[in-house]
Structure 1
Amino acid sequence: MNIIKKKAIDMMERKLSRTGHVLEVRAWDPATFFEIDLHLPGLNMEKWQSVQHMKVKVGDYAYRDYTPAMWDAETHTCTLLVNSSHDGPGSKWASSLKKGDAILYLGVGSTLHKPVEDRSLLCLGDSSSIGHFLALQQLAKGKTEVYGAVSFSEVKHMEAFKEYFITALQPVLEKRWDISLLSWIDEQPLEDQCIYITGHIPTVTELRRHIRKREDFSGTIKAQGFWA
């Protein structure tokens, strides 16, 4: 990174960065997935109507987007759910956090994903999508059903997901050279469905292409890739 770009980022951080604090960190077994409870003083969560994303500083001149989930507007708290199985600054950041640490972020912004009233929401994604789908579920509570499937590479992570969260999302096991979510969606009716697909970008692309070829599909697809 050149000097000019570094200076621009330094200036942006000084003007826009906000501070939060880590309340608790829970590692799943194996420790390649983390629940990170945060206190974000001053952040107004009451008006959130769509899934949000936080641009979090994870290293020198390095930022990653994470979804605040399971938030409490009164206490200004939320949880980030981070898949750290892929090597990179975000994974190293998540695995190094401990209670009491300060975090820096450049604000919180809306995504295009939000509940659609009077239509159930079918969600498909890998474990990097958990926070996104749980946020969608929180927004949809009392309005419509959120269901679907989340793929995992670890059996123990599937078990933890079923134990820790109350959700209609079903965990499925990833198999090498196979997109397990394709098999799952082939068992579902797709007439007039509102489908949300997130996670690994090539998988998102393949799932969207596959669904659009289905003769019974007559709904909408809202896709968002997280990583390649």
Structure 2
Amino acid sequence: MPKVPKWVADVLENVFSGFNRKVIVAEINHLHPFIKTIKFRGDLSGVNFKPGQAISIRVNETNFRNYTPSFWDSENGVFEVIFHLHGNGPGSSYIDGLELDDLVNIVLPRGLDLYKKEYEYHFFFGDETTIGLFKSLKQVIEENGQNYIGILELNEDTMHYELKTRYGLDIVSSSINKAQNAISFLQNLPDRVWELWQNGSFYLMGNGRSIQNFRKALKEKGVNSRNIRTQPYWVEGKIGL
């Protein structure tokens, strides 16, 4: 969500107060100096969360930021978000400063239900900003006895984060030509693997330019557009996607 004047932010909070909940920071873990997991607790009754939906947090007087939960349990009033602290922006500063027992006002989850339960095979492509979404999708895919593979395009400062052993994802480094290394990985998949996944469901998330390039590569390999789900989280030089 883009930056807005303070009075507009105040009005939005009042108009949509029925969709707001106050939650407590219940647990904090640093998986990496730039990757922070926070567990929140509060009244989540009546919320029917679906993987891929996002909450919104007002991070200062004029800025809101959207975050995709990695875990959600309405019955027990708990959810988790994996935050990528990518710089000195207002979102990163706010999240980095959160401490145990802090009170946070969130806008309840909204957005599309990304998970396509009718598919047996699921393919995920993303970056540091999409780890939480992947974890959420992974849970429901495994609950339904289905299969997944995935590629994460990571910056140098997060390349050593143990995502492959933790989640079974393959890791490639980011490059000037967005998704170039991920596309090379895709093109080198064994034929027997591609035969299974080419008609599956593809989830392309994270950087807008990486998504665009990877989607083009998938279509060149014969993947139908209706099998590809996309959600850009950020683009260089732009704020508030």
Q: TM-score range by the shorter chain?
A: 0.7 to 0.9
Q: Give the match for residue 239 of structure 2.
A: none
Partner residue of 1:117? 118
- Alignment match, 2:185: 184
Number of equivalenced pairs:
220
Q: Structure 1: any 5+ residue segments left out of the alignment?
A: none
- Secondary structure of 1:100's aligned partner: coil
User: Which whole-Å CA distance do the structure 1 matches of 2:173 and 2:126 have between them?
Assistant: 12
- 1:198, CA displacement in angstroms? 0.2
How far does residue 204 in structure 1 lie from its aligned partner after superposition? 0.9
- Aligned runs of 1:10-29 on 2, under 5 Å? 10-15=10-15, 16=17, 17-29=20-32
Partner of 2:223: 217
Deviations 1:67-88 (A, max 9, x none): 1112233321111111112331
CA deviation map 1:164-193 (0-9, x unaligned): x3x332233334556321122212325313
Question: Residue deviations 1:148-175, cap 9 Å, x none?
Answer: 1112224665443345x3x332233334
Q: 2:68, 2:37 → 1: CA distance?
A: 12
Task: State the Cα deviation string for residues 40-82 of structure 1 (Å, max 9, x = none).
Answer: 323445x334422101111112111111112233321111111
When residues 40 and 60 of structure 1 are mapped into structure 2, their CA distance, relative to the original with a 3 A threshold, is same
Superposed displacement of residue 226, structure 1:
0.1
Structure 1 counterpart of 2:155: 153
- Is the 1:50–1:115 contact (alpha carbons within 8 Å) kept by the matching residues of 2? no
- Percent of pairs identical after alignment? 19
For residues 66 and 178 of structure 2, the distance between their equivalents in structure 1, rounded to whole angstroms, comes to 27
Checking the alignment, whether the CA contact within 8 Å between 1:49 and 1:139 is kept in structure 2 is: no
Q: Distance in 2 between matches of 1:25 and 1:154?
A: 24
| TM-score normalised over the length of structure 2 | 0.80
Aligned pairs for 1:36-115 within 5 A: 36-45=38-47, 47-115=48-116
Native 8 Å contact 2:45 2:75 kept in 1: no
Return 5+ residue gaps in structure 2 as ranges.
236-241
Aligned to 1:198: 205
Q: Match of 2:136, as an amino acid?
A: A
